[in-house]
Chains A and B, each alone.
Chain A
Amino acid sequence: EAQVTQNPRYLITVTGKKLTVTCSQNMNHEYMSWYRQDPGLGLRQIYYSMNVEVTDKGDVPEGYKVSRKEKRNFPLILESPSPNQTSLYFCASSQQSMNTEAFFGQGTRLTVV
């Protein structure tokens, strides 16, 4: 089954404690991206990757890091989480370079206290 898998689905952490949210896709897609979703603001793109070792900033990259060492995986790293990073996070992948047919993961609800 074609899917994008995120882990964990739910996470509560404390300010400053480094964390990683993993994302894996089994569709051999080249394009992957991370979004956060907040009430009233919709989905905002954090980072995207057009292929292995190629990443670029989206609209809200501050406080986040990503890496793309393998085609299937695109982890999101919060080196020093802060409460304003409490949000619902989605990973997505797409075969199309313009991200026109993106498959989304189920989401990770992160709370930073």
Chain B
Amino acid sequence: QKEVEQDPGPLSVPEGAIVSLNCTYSNSAFQYFMWYRQYSRKGPELLMYTYSSGNKEDGRFTAQVDKSSKYISLFIRDSQPSDSATYLCAMSGDTGGFKTIFGAGTRLFVKA
């Protein structure tokens, strides 16, 4: 079993839809949870990070962490074609060191 599981998609939605992206994990020692966006042929760019449980909002993006369920989510409101990309969750803060573990990424297509 992978430490971090993420549905690869692809996920296709119409413009304006609310998008929900999710990851589950197995290591309860993770404390830092990140979401990255990666456009084709580019390096990942950080969208948001959250420490421990709770919600964090930044414009159209909301990140949620539920440590009791080992489940994190990224919501995108009013999705735009420019949001079409691969979204990667990542986690760190494992007691074994400063490793960062990424999910495999979910490909999102927002249709105009």
Contact = CB atoms under 8 A, between A and B. Distances in A.
Contacts of A56: 97-98
Interface residues of B, number: 26
B32 A98 contact: yes
Interface stretch (A13-21, A42-50, A64-72, A78-86): A42-50
A43 B6 CA distance: 12
Given A41-B104, A98-B32, A48 B98 contact: yes
Contacts of B101: 45, 59
Given A98-B32, A104-B45, A48 B99 contact: yes
Contact of B92 (A42, A99, A105): A99
**Tier of interface size on chain A:** 20 to 34
A42 B6 contact: yes
Contact of A98 (B43, B98, B103, B105): B98
Contact of A101 (B46, B97, B98): B46
Interface string A79-113: 00000000000101000011111111111000000
Contacts, number: 66
Contacts of A50: 98
Interface string B91-108: 011000111111111000
B43 A45 contact: no
B46 A59 contact: no
B31 A98 contact: yes
Nearest to B8: A40
A57 B6 CA distance: 24
Nearest 9 pairs between A and B by C-beta? A104-B43, A42-B104, A43-B102, A100-B49, A42-B102, A99-B100, A98-B32, A100-B32, A98-B92
